[in-house]
Amino acid sequence: MHKQSFDAATMKQQLEAFLPGIIQHGGFQLKFEVQNTAGQLDRDYENPDLVVDFSGPDMPLLLENKAELLRSVEQIALEAIGLDHESQDKILFDCQEHRMMRFAELGLAAQAAAEKVVRTSVPFRFGSMSGRERRVIHMALRNNNGVHTESEGYGVNRQVVVSPKNGSRGPKGPGRPGPRGS
C-alpha cells in the first residue's frame, strides 16, 4: 500500500470516513471528534496536529489495560489511511485527555528520574512502555546535560534507561556509576 505524507485536512477527512465503521462493527457506543490542534498545544514533547477524542458509554473499554484498545484503534486507523511512519506522531487518539495526562505524568517522572540519577550516579530503568511513551521520556530529557537516555529491550518489553553522563567521573562505559558521594 502506498504511504502518504501528512496533510491535516486530508487525514481528518479520511479518519472521519473510516472510524464510524470501526465503531459500528465493533459494537461500541462511542462518539468521536477529530480536532485540529496544530499550534494549540503547548507541549514540548507531544504536540500532535490532530487529536481524535472519543466519548460515550464505552469509554472505560478504551482505557482498560493501559489504554490498550485505544492504542490499537489508533494503530489500525493509521494503517488504514496509509499514513507514513514518520508522520504518525502528528495524530493522537485520546479519550477524555487520558493519554495527554499520561504524557504529562511521564514528563514529570522523567525529570524526577533524572534528578535521582544525577544525585546518586545510579541509572534508572523505567518499566516497559509503548514507543510513543518512550519518546516522551527521551524528549523530556534531551536537553538535560547530566543524563542521557537509551531504549533497551525488544517488542513489548522495551524500556527507557536514564544514565548519568560520565564526563571524567568514574569508570568509563555506559551506565556505570561514578564514585560514591559524587
Q: Tell me, what's the pLDDT at 180? A: 32
Residue count (the chain)? 182
DSSP code of residue 179: S
Is 46 a residue whose pLDDT tops 80? no
Tell me what the mean pLDDT of segment 60-68 comes to: 91
Tell me what the mean pLDDT of segment 8-19 comes to: 93
Q: Tell me, what's the pLDDT at 44? A: 64
For residues 83 and 48, the answer to whether their CB atoms sit within 8 Å is: no
Tell me what the mean pLDDT of segment 142-151 comes to: 94
Crossing angle of helices 98-120/131-141, nearest 10°?
50
Tell me what the mean pLDDT of segment 73-77 comes to: 93
Band of residue 169 on the pLDDT scale cut at 50, 70, 90: very low
